[in-house]
Structure 1
Amino acid sequence: MALSSLQSSPSAEDYLTAALKAPVYQVAQITPLQEMKKISERFDNVILVKREDLQLMHSFKLRGAYNMIAGLSAQQRANGVITASAGNHAQGVALSASRIGIPALIVMPLATADIKVDAVRRLQAEVLLYGVNFDEAKAKAIEIAHQEGYTYVPPFDHPAVIAGQATIAMELLQQAPHLDRIFVPVGGGGLIAGVAILIKQLMPEIKIIAVEAEDAACLKAALAAGYPVDLPSVGLFAEGVAVKRIGDESFRLCQKYVDDIITVNSDNICAAIKDLFEEVRAIAEPAGAVALAGLKKYVQQHDIKGERLAHILTGANINFHGLRYVSERCELGEQREALFAVTIPEQQGSFLRFCQVLGKRSVTEFNYRYSDINSEQARIFVGVRLSYGVDESADIVADLQQADYDVTDLSHDEMARLHVRYMVGGRPSKPLNERLLSFVFPESPGALLKFLQTLGSYWNITLFHYRSHGTDYGRVLAAFELSGSEALFEQHLAALGYEYYDETNNTSFQFFLAPHSQLLTAHIGNSQQLPECSN
């Protein structure tokens, strides 16, 4: 059945027939299903990984793109295809069009990394750089399609694309027919829709578990509403699943065939990337590791033992510089590290005594700088390695308090983890009328210049920290000396147009970076755990 031209919602039987007839193996390969032995032992289940990162262009996206393009009519082929993408779908469309021998135009946002643009051009597709984000690029692609007669190839919300992705489920059943659950990452929903509808036609007893990034959970929002809805914004760390709205056809199928859903945060994803590297030497992109992150969390929440669990590693097109962020955060993601703010005496032997109190626990980080303003006490930022599966943080706090140390657990303080840990040591010696803000900062040409022209030329910047992680959005922490000009400052913040959060009263800032004369707004010295910052 040619789903490429079908307008109404296909039946389950139509999808099954289309998946069985899909010509995807003209370009795709059957990818291996490998056991992850160490993590299987750790979680007392058999855990299997479907290696879609081993496809020719290192992503499953090739299956759906080729299936749709191969089903086009002769006239549609002559007119060519167009799509909008900054990642794996762009390469899938480009490669498919190249193999079939038809023209392809890929619209990519202006800030797309050169490595991705070059990869598409090497596949003989034409590239148009347009727009500051995917939505603007997509609108331009659809406009050109109407004007020039191209066929628009959507990344997920089309029956032919969904049927192409369903071929992964056929392989899973052939490679491991006795599965209990399959964990599938969700962006726009094309992959999980294809997997779910095929599995439920052939082996309905297998549970299909959807996994979404917490900051891009469009399927969860749609299930709660009963229909697809637009998220106000999405996080872009796992950019391959950063979709604001689930596809209409994808949602129809997910609502009927998906058994459960779970969300994971960036630290969970980083820990899963590390697991994949250590087990099978795969360097997964963040979106590619989402399913494993969800599997681990789901198993722990539901106390699952003795089952056969599969997850899909969907891609390996990671920006190399993003690995630095992954390396820094994976210990927190797998709860192998805790962070603390501790006050110790400013005297020789203090660090030794502090480590003796910790006992055999390993210190992973120790940030400190001498200050002559308070020569009797030192404030230190400390990371401590934790054992697998054991919540030691409360015990560590108790041990330190027993030794008369003031201590605060910062393990869940996002600003401490993202910024303050790199800035410990600097304090102004005089009081400042200072306001501290964290910004969601677009990684695009002119963004920093716009920031400085709008804010930096009017107020003295007293603190600034920025760290690029190779994603579409960076994070900036900045403090401004206002001197009674708060109303005017608010006007300039509105003109800047960047998402921001007020962090002036953040505990880690007060503890390490604020002027000594500034009173702490949070009590230091108790064992309360701080909530995550809103950013």
Structure 2
Amino acid sequence: MPHRYIKKILEARVYDVAVETPLDNAKGLSERLNNRVLLKREDQQPVFSFKIRGAYNKMIQLSEAERACGVVAASAGNHAQGLAMAARHLGVKATIVMPKTTPDVKVNNVRRLGGKVVLHGDAFDEASAHAQKLVAEKGLTYVHPFDDPDVIAGQGTVAMEILRQESGPIDAIFVPVGGGGLISGIAAYVKYLRPETKVIGVESEDSACLAAALEAGKRVTLSQVGIFADGVAVALIGENTFEICQQFVDEVITVNTDEICAAIKDIYDDTRSICEPAGALGVAGMKKYVAREACEHKTLIAIDSGANVNFDRLRHIAERSELGEKREAIIAAKIPEKPGSFKKFCTALGRRNITEFNYRYSDDNLAVVFAGIQIKPNNDGKEELLEELREHIEEVVDLTDDETAKLHVRYMVGGHAPSAVNNEVVYRFEFPERPGALMNFLSKLGGKWNISMFHYRNHGAAYGRVLVGMQVPQEERDQVAMFLKEIGYNFWEETDNAAYQLFLG
């Protein structure tokens, strides 16, 4: 079998539309991981994904009669764009069935390339079933996104370029896995020419169909798949691709959402390009591999497979990247509901930066705070923080790995003030975002009046923004402005603000 694929890869017709992408040195990652890290930049293809290779190679192999019928495919986005571009180049009509969850950037680009888009189902497998229905009803020619020898051969040209671009020893290549087309082509070619090089698949842990199949020794269908990394949201590995992977893939590593987001940031830091979640799997898996093996001075290659990400997803990616890099911990703590408690809490944090701080008065006895705190990027950073906090505070809960806390609760802390909150005044503050600025603010503010509400989030901007509620007796109201001016930060009173009155007052 490998000989058949080697010949097909060498004869693959991809460069009519695809380009040979660079193998870039990732200097920042190389320095941090103490290994030589190279990125295969498939995000630089005309459709910002490697998928153009397999789609065009399949299209060029079709007979005139098959092309005349028009082609159809199911795709979570990147194969769709590749097929639409290939079809336009060859003058063939293309219909693409895409899951309804496909990012708009991919849907819109397929239409711009001349493809007819049909949105159906919530994941690839539902879209695939509908595409097969169109084949039966309209006689269209089906072009599979991954489970086809010609598609696999087209993707294998990535490996052909890598071995030509890097003549020295390669210790491991890390490949994103969805349906398996890319890793199959790479593994077949690499293992034939350089069997000593490890080929390692990387899957999102909520769509790890190859890992499940290898463990079971047969193809298995996942009961559900996550769609954060939509480019690899596949429930069943391909038949052809699984056969190749069983023989030539050394192992599969699974990564979570936080680790993927951290890898997107790593790639951005080194290349100033923003890849999609599926495109960052290779780097995320590489980092996990290096941490596990403690390897140094190796040559490691990650495939940056695509850059089709909706701009509005970047906020979520940025928020989760610090957690994925293990540079942030999310904690909840109970502190006494009395003046000075906030200051004591801040003292327990030491010199650590606070990335987020949420609190709303609940009762006269205990306050529960929700905080994001920067930690050292190592395995002991979080434990050091928790140990120090527990020396000063009776109850501290680690929420760093709690999906509900990260996705929902951190944005829901608050609500209307209970009737016990009397004399509440509300102020909005703005101050220079520098180390210690928030700690300084809390230390000065926390001992004067009881804090009944506090919200702060670090947005990476030049200024920190805080909303604070304080219980100030009526006879002391005239002292507030004078006291706040002494702190030295810009402030505005918001006690009469309509949003505050509607949702928090």
User: Normalised by the size of structure 2, how large is the TM-score?
Assistant: 0.80
Match of 2:250 among 259, 263, 278: 259
The answer to whether residue 370 in structure 2 is matched with residue 381 in structure 1 is: yes
Q: Which amino acid aligns with 1:421?
A: R
Of 22, 29, 36, the residue aligned with 1:46 is 36
Equivalent residue number for residue 105 of structure 1: 95
Q: In 2, distance between residues paired with 1:65 and 1:209?
A: 23
| Deviation per residue, 1:42-89 (Å, 9 max, x gap) | 111011111100100000000000000011112112222111224111
Amino acid at match of 1:198: Y
After the TM superposition, which residues 315-330 of structure 1 pair with which residues of structure 2 at under 5 Å, given as runs?
315-330=306-321
How far apart in 2 are the matches of 1:263 and 1:419?
Answer: 24
1:424 to 393, 413, 429: 413
Match of 2:191, SS state, is helix
Q: Tell me: CA distance 1:217–1:111, structure 2 relative to 1, closer, same or farther (3 Å).
A: closer
SS of alignment partner, residue 66 of structure 1: helix
Matched, 1:95 2:95: no
Q: 2:118 aligns with which of 125, 128, 140?
A: 128
* Cα distance, 1:118 vs structure 2: 2.5
User: What amino acid is the match of 1:213?
Assistant: S
Query: How far apart in 2 are the matches of 1:219 and 1:171?
Result: 25
| CA distance in 2: counterparts of 1:112 and 1:171, whole angstroms | 30
| SS state at 2:203 partner | strand
Equivalence for 2:497: none
Q: CA deviation at 1:112?
A: 4.4
Q: Deviations over 1:363-414 (max 9, x none)?
A: 111111233xx22432111111011224222222221222244211111222
Map 1:301-320 onto structure 2 (within 5 A): 301-320=292-311
Work out the CA distance in 1 between the residues paired with 2:26 and 2:339: 48
How big is the shift at 1:176?
A: 1.2
**Could you tell me how far 1:26 is from its partner in structure 2?**
0.7
- Are the counterparts in 1 of residues 103 and 309 from structure 2 also a CA contact under 8 Å? no
In the other structure, the counterpart of 1:512 is none
**Cα distance in 1 for residues equivalent to 2:64 and 2:274:** 40
1:357 Cα deviation after fit: 2.0
SS of alignment partner, residue 405 of structure 2? helix
SS state of the match for residue 206, structure 2? helix
- Give the corresponding residue for 2:185: 194
CA change 1:360–1:132 in 2 (3 A) is: closer
CA contact (8 A) 2:102 2:230 kept: no
Give the gaps of 5 or more residues in structure 1.
1-10, 431-535
The alpha carbon displacement at 1:137 in A equals 2.6
- State the Cα distance separating 1:420 from its structure 2 match: 1.0
Asked if the contact 2:123/2:234 (under 8 Å) is kept, the reply is: no
1:138 and 1:331 map into 2 onto residues whose CA distance is 36
Tell me how far 1:345 sits from its aligned partner.
2.8
Native 8 Å contact 2:105 2:309 kept in 1:
no
Matched, 1:78 2:53: no
Deviation, 1:156, is: 0.2
Deviation of 1:226 after TM superposition, in Å, equals 1.0
1:213 counterpart residue number? 204
How many pairs are equivalent? 418
CA contact (8 A) 2:174 2:286 kept: yes
Structure 1 equivalent of residue 288 of structure 2: 297
Corresponding residue for residue 67 of structure 1: 57
Q: Answer whether contact 2:334 2:393 (CA < 8 A) is retained.
A: no
The answer to whether residue 40 in structure 2 is matched with residue 31 in structure 1 is no
Q: CA deviation at 1:427?
A: 7.5
Alpha carbons of structure 1 residues 148 and 189: separation in structure 2 relative to 1, 3 Å:
same
RMSD: 1.7
Alignment of 1:159-238 (within 5 A): 159-177=149-167, 178-238=169-229
User: 2:337 pairs with 341, 346, 359, which one?
Assistant: 346
Contact 2:135 2:141 in 1 (8 A): yes
Match of 1:441 in 2: none
The superposition leaves residues 145-187 of structure 1 with CA deviations (integer Å, 9 ceiling, x where unpaired) of: 2333321000100000000000000111111132110000110
Regions of 4+ moved over 4 Å: 110-114, 427-430
Q: Secondary structure at the match of 2:339?
A: coil
| Greater C-alpha radius of gyration | 2
The 8 Å contact of residues 28 and 269 in structure 2, kept in 1 or not, is answered as no
Deviations 1:460-513 (A, max 9, x none): xxxxxxxxxxxxxxxxxxxxxxxxxxxxxxxxxxxxxxxxxxxxxxxxxxxxxx
Q: Partners in 2 of 1:405 and 1:384 — Cα distance?
A: 18
Cα distance change of structure 1 residues 377 and 42 upon mapping to structure 2, 3 Å threshold: same
SS in 1 for 2:202: strand
Structure 1 residue 365 corresponds to structure 2 residue 356 = yes
Task: Tell me which amino acid in the other structure corresponds to 2:57.
Answer: N
What displacement does 1:323 show? 1.1
Paired with 2:94 and 2:393, the residues of 1 have a C-alpha distance of: 68
Give, in whole Å, the separation in 1 of the partners of 2:389 and 2:117. 58
How far residue 194 of structure 1 moved from its aligned partner, in angstroms, is 0.3
Instruction: Measure, in 2, the Cα distance between the counterparts of 1:33 and 1:167.
Output: 14
State the partner residue of 1:276: 267
Distance 1:112 1:298, change over 3 A: closer
Letter in 1 for 2:368: R
State the alpha-carbon separation in 1 of the partners of residues 122 and 27 from structure 2: 43
| Structure 2 letter corresponding to 1:29 | V
Amino acid at match of 2:89: R
8 A Cα contact 2:352 2:375, kept in partner: yes
Match of residue 249, structure 1, among 214, 234, 240 = 240
Give the distance between the partners of 1:341 and 1:133, measured in 2 at CA: 36
> C-alpha displacement at 1:278, in angstroms?
1.1
| 2:127 match | 137
CA distance in 1, matches of 2:212, 2:123: 22
| 2:400 is aligned with 1:411 | yes
* Structure 1 residues 419 and 185: alpha-carbon distance in aligned structure 2, compared to 1, 3 A threshold: same
Describe how 1:437-516 pairs up with structure 2 within 5 A. Answer: none
1:405 to 1:314, Cα distance in 2 relative to 1, 3 A: same
Seen in structure 2, the aligned counterparts of structure 1 residues 145 and 17 have a Cα distance that, compared at 3 Å, is same
Structure 2, gaps ≥5 residues long: 420-505
CA gap 1:215/1:113 in 2 versus in 1, 3 angstroms: closer
Whether 1:336 aligns to 2:352 is no
TM value normalised by structure 1: 0.75
Q: CA deviation at 1:111?
A: 5.2
Which amino acid in the other structure matches residue 385 of structure 2? I
